[in-house]
Chains A and B, each alone.
Chain A
């Protein structure tokens, strides 16, 4: 292990779901204390902390410190939509890579159970006369009059746009992605939902935004995840068992979307994911063909399809063929979302970017139990936050 590399020493995710008797501080603390325990270190060892919570108040990092240890270290409160957790990871990664400290803590936590439809902004009525307001001089909120601000509708359009560009994608293809992920969740005791659906059940469920039916949408839920990172130099001084279980962060990438025609009209989740994947593969010195498993941002079934292509898991335009050939299934060439994905594991927004990494680590350590991908050595975790931000982490099993 090279001294200037960065490793994940300990990582933990809470059960995702509805935690009616516990607040964000309880959930965040559970994640942190158990990540520290998993790492075999304590809060006093941490040199930096980054914390994310999207739907909450100010200073989640300091609020959590008051629960688990106020040691005077720098704390970064980060938000980056659904890429918040991945951003917290990257902040800690950068602090360690810069040589500023040897240990750092990243955490993401969210309470979202029962939050309902996540839509865009709206505003109150402006009285009894039409009055243009805002940058577009709108006389009423335009959501629903000029297209949709809802997430299921936005991502439905992203999926069908892929279908228009390359042809040949059907409602059934998207539903099959959801069928796969729900089947995977049956093996994950921490998933919010562990219910297997048939293709017919998925296609005949309540339509949210065609072609996304209810089971094809990510589940709003509560949860937290935390990771302890360590420098390669410090890891060399730790026990052989800690070294064996450490997971190398071969690339930690964050991108925003470069301008392209239409990107301000419909969010473009493709350009920045392709950019992040390219940078990640270059930095890690591996290619998509080397990946033993991928956790990607399936906030909707229609999103998963386009990311097969964006992450280079298939040739350009080949996402539908990749799916139909069975490649993203547990038993396929590149298993995708063996955790159950956001559609069944759940999507407590700020926790998601660390929970995806937790899943990969579990397999690389050989600790994933019945859902273990045998012999997994390299994995990739991907998240997208609309706005847009893309986080990609490429992780490698310890050489020990």
Chain B
């Protein structure tokens, strides 16, 4: 099997791809990269936690105008994954308002971004409608 690299280091690949967060050991606030201290309570201890891979769509936009080179339209969204808000694209869906309902159930999905010159495959994530 070829080597793989995740799009971001808070995406854990493998049999059950999922996101990880740094959770404040005192108040439970979660962050997707390191914090010197907690933005909520200023505690300095954190632990790694797995984020739920299923959630509900809190809000979205269908982006038609974006930086050069980005394929549009795409669906940008915030997902509530068991109380943790996650920023993502909604994938495997046609980007039209009638296909998207606030509160709809979605789940994490991964896809290949292609391989680099060393043969390492990059893997990205999005959330797709959960049937």
Contacts and interface: CB of A to CB of B under 8 A. Distances in A.
Q: Which range contains the number of A residues in contact with the other chain?
A: 35 or more
B39 interface: yes
A157 B9 CA distance: 25
B29 A152 contact: no
Contacts of A171: 97
Contact of B77 (A143, A157, A264): A157
B29 A145 contact: no
Given A130-B116, A160-B59, A163-B102, A147 B77 contact: yes
Contacts of A264: 31-32, 39
Interface in B9-42: 9-10, 29, 31-34, 39-40
Interface size, B (range) = 35 or more
Nearest to A161: B59
Contacts of B97: 171, 210-211
A contact patch SS:
loop
A400 interface: no
B65 A147 contact: no
Contact of A150 (B6, B66, B84, B117): B66
Nearest to B80: A262
B118 A129 contact: yes
Contacts of B86: 265
A244 B55 CA distance: 59
A208 B64 contact: yes
B74 A144 contact: yes
Contacts of B29: 259, 261
A317 B83 CA distance: 21
Contacts of A157: 59-61, 76-78
B65 A209 contact: yes
Interface stretch (A9-17, A103-111, A131-139, A182-190): A131-139
Of all A-B residue pairs in the complex, the 3 with the closest CB atoms, nearest first, are A137-B9, A156-B61, A262-B85
Given A209-B64, A266-B59, 7 more contacts: A122-B67, A136-B8, A142-B8, A143-B67, A150-B63, A152-B65, A211-B61
Interface of B: 5-10, 29, 31-34, 39-40, 57-67, 70, 73-74, 76-78, 83-89, 97, 102-103, 113, 116-118, 120, 122, 124-125
23 contacts: A119-B66, A119-B67, A128-B117, A136-B32, A144-B74, A147-B78, A147-B88, A150-B65, A150-B66, A150-B67, A152-B63, A153-B63, A157-B61, A158-B59, A163-B59, A164-B57, A209-B63, A210-B73, A210-B97, A211-B61, A262-B85, A264-B39, A265-B85
